[in-house]
Structure 1
């Protein structure tokens, strides 16, 4: 397929405007984040090197999270400018159909989609881990209270009869806090192990439990075993101590698939959360095509309000897309709703809207 001068012109504008949009909004995001966290950073005396690494990961994490908005607004912006300068009228007036006019946009969407897909498979998980590690280590009371809110407490079933709980986890020190393990037999508690801290020992392949207590229930009375420090081998993995979403977001595609298979065999109650993360890796790149068609269809027409009207419509649609994406993802995570359907529903709805707007724009 040979690109014409018009194709190259539009494709260049497509990619350049998207890059400029990223360069404009990412510094704003960094400034807002710094203003929110500067007090904690100074209070906890965070090393400058760690801050620099954090904002490298923050840039990738922030850009990947708001990718649909950046892409949508960039297309709205430069296509509206083409329309206001009557360039689109000249192009279509030369005999080029609206479908043919879309070709460089689709090529641009393909390039962006492949880039986002590869980033989501390999780069974003690493940045997600670095981003979350920094927050949990340095911004939660200096690491003393590492996690709060919905992701603070990790309660997980590791087998048919065993359950573990930790209040928080530090991936740098490989240590979790307020640990407990409960062992059941025929719905009756057999024993419970508790510790104020549990630390992974990579060389010995075991765990060190601090302020260890084991209470074994019996018919003649309970047996209590205590020790200030005790090394124990457990059947669960280190990653089982991490928050549900946190671990899924930090795994590359291959590792995430293996992790999901393992959790399925365990009968994990959090499997929907992991599946949402997996399916989004594929649905987000596809959204680039849908948002591109919607943006061109909305902004290719010259309006009385000019570029401002197109931007207002674009911002509303972009935020609506992100809103529905978050809503359906949360529904799948918190209920029995199909994760695959939940992740793809925003693309389906907006895909139908794209077809309608495209037909209207052709007229």
Structure 2
């Protein structure tokens, strides 16, 4: 690499690191000021609070790094433009594409780091962050599906419960249906199901078993029955944030399992999986946009570039949140919802790059 590459690359990575170190303590301070009452009220041990804010730092750095990267690139590139350094680079015979190379190298480094963070480190931080939040800050908040739970537990059996209580290991209006091919062979119906944690058995109350015959059905009634059923109780309705806490390979396995079970939260899980790739890729797109809008010396100085950059950054975040939420809460394609901001801003990046003043 030549002097120009090292000069820009060191500023790229140094400014990005400085931006993270500046804003993360501010984020922690704001969050602590908002949560301090509940932390004191619940007498949370200091070591758990410290662990929570360590997880908080990793969790939000992973979510907001595109914003920090975008602003840091605009910041130092605007300084280069105001000091006429970019004009000097281009006047020396360096093409605009050659000038852009160290930015793309920096974006590649950040992208690889973001991939490692989102695939392996952020999931562990997300687990600690969410567990602390629901244990101390949102006591009593419902984090699992509890009404009208429907699952395919294997290739031939389906279950349903109108009311599912994970804390008490109970379910109401429980039904299990067993199929062979497309034919229903028998059906279990119970007014109440209780999971016995000691021996992993189930107690069924007011059980009716209907065996489907060729000419007539056989109905067997039991007041109370202890039996073994082909599913794990704690896997029926995973907590809503479960996908965020799994590494990439674990998440893929979990999604395959939930597809077979007919989970109602599939879109939520797919959005998390697609964002593991889309956020790191956004490093390239936002870097190109930042260079294109800030490499020109403007009459208003750095302030104009920063204002334009902040506006574009918040539009990107707005698109990311809105389309991600739409994909989670509706039948809208999670793939389109997650990648739409990158696609839209990718087109904008190409337009700005080819129309930037050389």
Query: What range is the shorter-chain TM-score in?
Result: 0.7 to 0.9
**Residue 329 of structure 1: aligned partner:** 324
The answer to whether structure 1 residue 347 and structure 2 residue 352 are counterparts is no
**Residue 13 of structure 1: aligned partner:** 11
Q: Shift in Å at residue 81 of structure 1?
A: 0.8
Greater alpha carbon shift after TM alignment, 216-225 vs 246-255 = 216-225
Q: TM-score, normalised by structure 2?
A: 0.85
**Residue 40 of structure 2: aligned partner:** 42
Q: Shift in Å at residue 216 of structure 1?
A: 3.1
Judged with a 3 Å threshold, the aligned counterparts in structure 2 of structure 1 residues 68 and 237 are, in CA distance, closer, same or farther, namely farther
1:176–1:241: 8 Å Cα contact kept in structure 2? no
The answer to whether structure 1 residue 158 and structure 2 residue 155 are counterparts is no
Q: Shift in Å at residue 343 of structure 1?
A: 1.3
Unaligned runs of 5+ in 1: 170-174
Judged with a 3 Å threshold, the aligned counterparts in structure 2 of structure 1 residues 237 and 318 are, in CA distance, closer, same or farther, namely farther
Distance 1:91 1:176 in 2: 69
Q: Shift in Å at residue 329 of structure 1?
A: 1.4
SS of the residue 1:190 aligns to: strand
1:153–1:166: 8 Å Cα contact kept in structure 2? no
Higher CA-based Rg? 2
**Residue 215 of structure 2: aligned partner:** none
Q: Deviations over 1:297-341 (max 9, x none)?
A: 011111111111111111111111111111111222222222222
**Residue 236 of structure 1: aligned partner:** 232
Distance 2:30 2:339 in 1: 31
1:166–1:241: 8 Å Cα contact kept in structure 2? no
Tell me which of 94, 105, 108 is aligned to 1:107.
105
1:167–1:176: 8 Å Cα contact kept in structure 2? no
Judged with a 3 Å threshold, the aligned counterparts in structure 2 of structure 1 residues 199 and 115 are, in CA distance, closer, same or farther, namely farther
Q: Deviations over 1:23-44 (max 9, x none)?
A: 1111111011111111111111
Distance 1:102 1:299 in 2: 13
The answer to whether structure 1 residue 214 and structure 2 residue 208 are counterparts is no
Q: Shift in Å at residue 218 of structure 1?
A: 8.3
**Residue 297 of structure 1: aligned partner:** 292
Distance 1:285 1:33 in 2: 25
SS of the residue 2:312 aligns to: helix
Distance 1:274 1:61 in 2: 17
* Aligned pairs (5 A) from 1:110-121: 110-121=108-119
Judged with a 3 Å threshold, the aligned counterparts in structure 2 of structure 1 residues 154 and 277 are, in CA distance, closer, same or farther, namely farther
**Residue 277 of structure 1: aligned partner:** 272
2:244–2:272: 8 Å Cα contact kept in structure 1? yes
Distance 2:196 2:323 in 1: 37
Distance 1:234 1:223 in 2: 19
What RMSD, in angstroms, separates the aligned Cα atoms of the two structures? 2.9
Q: Shift in Å at residue 237 of structure 1?
A: 5.6
Distance 2:109 2:150 in 1: 42
Aligned residues: 338
Q: Shift in Å at residue 82 of structure 1?
A: 0.8
Distance 1:181 1:59 in 2: 43
Q: TM-score, normalised by structure 1?
A: 0.84
Greater alpha carbon shift after TM alignment, 155-164 vs 63-72 = 155-164
